[in-house]
Amino acid sequence: MVLIFSGSSPPVGQADEAVVNEFALIARLTRDLPGNDSVVVGAGDDCAVLDLGTPDRLWLLKTDAVVEGVHYRSDTPPERIGHKALGRGLSDVAAMAGTPTAALVTLGLPRRFDVEFVAKIYAGMNELARRHGVAIVGGETTTNPDRVLMSVSLLGFVPREKMLLRSGAKPGDAIFVTGELGGSLAGKHLEFEPRLAEAHWLAEHFDVHAMIDLSDGLAGDLRHVLKASGVGAELRQSAVPVSRAAKLAAKAGDAAKPAFVAALTDGEDFELLFTVAGKDAVPVLDAWKKAFPSLRLSCIGKIMAGEGILLRDPTGVRPLTAHGYVHFS
């Protein structure tokens, strides 16, 4: 997801052109991508997966970017910018139950920039990298007119038998999410902790069928799992964990949408959504409370045959029409 903080003009020559949304563009650009025998999973999941002949593991590749004025305000503390720039990719590695190992950083800067400000961006990134054992091994610096752009590419690995994808959800599965959702603009989008330890624990102790990180909003990211798995879902409105920030914003009139809708659509929560067989739902909840007592885990619904998302609320069951964030739409 992106959080657009101020308007900007389209690139020269694009103002009058029709714009497709993010996923239509991705579908067009990835239609004819070249591959080779090392590719296990290409475009379409949280990370690309490569088999490079290592006996006990598969390798993960991920890249993500943050742009000033789009993903953060110009007055954001620089340490938080670096944290977010690396954390976004770490969250995707977590969604595959992977372990990050190394990163490359591309930094685009306007011609006039504050060296100390940039150094503090790196300080925030370095602190998060050290906590997760990630080596930052190089990258690229370049000029980028008007604003800062930072792109981080990650290398990681996952044991061959533990890799989790979006495509394994099955009818009857319980749907879980970690943490609370919505209202990330109040600060969480700059301070989140990638759920790497939690993902490793889940993969080690339970038969997780599918997993994704929540970056574009629950309503959008769950649809990615459903499409990849060829199934549908039913959500219980009362079970979706709405954050205090979303509730306060709605109560104060600062939000343009109700708190529950914010939980569905705001994005940039960087929590995990996963599915397990229905019979495992209670054991997962019980074991989670012992392993991660300070982090909420919620069973929010179930996977069903068919397609699309149904919402069960006090008025009955109806199709969910809300979607998460989509670039260019």
Range of weakest confidence among 17-21, 75-79, 285-289: 17-21
Q: 183 pLDDT exceeds 90?
A: yes
Q: 18 pLDDT exceeds 90?
A: no
Q: 13 pLDDT exceeds 50?
A: no
Model confidence at 33, pLDDT cuts 50, 70, 90, reads confident
pTM confidence score: 0.91
Residues 141-176 have pLDDT tens digits of: 999 999 999 999 999 999 999 999 999 999 999 999
The better pLDDT of the pair 326, 26 is held by: 26
Q: 132 pLDDT exceeds 50?
A: yes
Burial class from Cβ neighbours inside 10 Å (0-12, 13-18, 19+) for residue 304 reads middle
Of all residues in the chain, the percent with pLDDT exceeding 90 is 82
The better pLDDT of the pair 78, 24 is held by: 78
Question: What is the distance between the alpha carbons of residues 86 and 153, in angstroms, rounded to a whole number?
Answer: 9
Residue 253: predicted pLDDT:
75
Residue 255: predicted pLDDT:
58
Question: What is the distance between the alpha carbons of residues 132 and 127, in angstroms, rounded to a whole number?
Answer: 9
Q: Give the strands of the sheet with 232-236, arranged side by side.
A: 208-213, 272-276, 174-178, 297-304, 232-236, 309-313, 316-319
What domains appear along the chain, each with residue ranges and CATH number?
Answer: 38-159 (3.30.1330.10), 174-319 (3.90.650.10)
Q: Which two tokens stand for residue 239?
A: 């079970």
Average pLDDT, the chain: 91
Residue 23: predicted pLDDT:
67
* In the block, residue with structure tokens 């069951």: 317
Residue 5: predicted pLDDT:
47
Q: What is the DSSP string of 155-207?
A: EEEEETTT---STT--TT-EEEEES-BS-GGGTHHHH----HHHHHHHHHHS-
Residue 254: predicted pLDDT:
62
Residue 4: predicted pLDDT:
46
Question: What is the distance between the alpha carbons of residues 259 and 182, in angstroms, rounded to a whole number?
Answer: 7
Residues 244-273 have pLDDT tens digits of: 999 998 888 765 679 999 999 999 999 999
Q: 186 pLDDT exceeds 80?
A: yes
Residue 168: predicted pLDDT:
96
Residues 195-250 have pLDDT tens digits of: 999 999 999 999 999 999 999 999 999 999 999 999 999 999 999 999 999 999 88
Of all residues in the chain, the percent with pLDDT exceeding 70 is 91
Model confidence at 322, pLDDT cuts 50, 70, 90, reads confident
Question: What is the distance between the alpha carbons of residues 303 and 124, in angstroms, rounded to a whole number?
Answer: 39
The better pLDDT of the pair 279, 254 is held by: 279
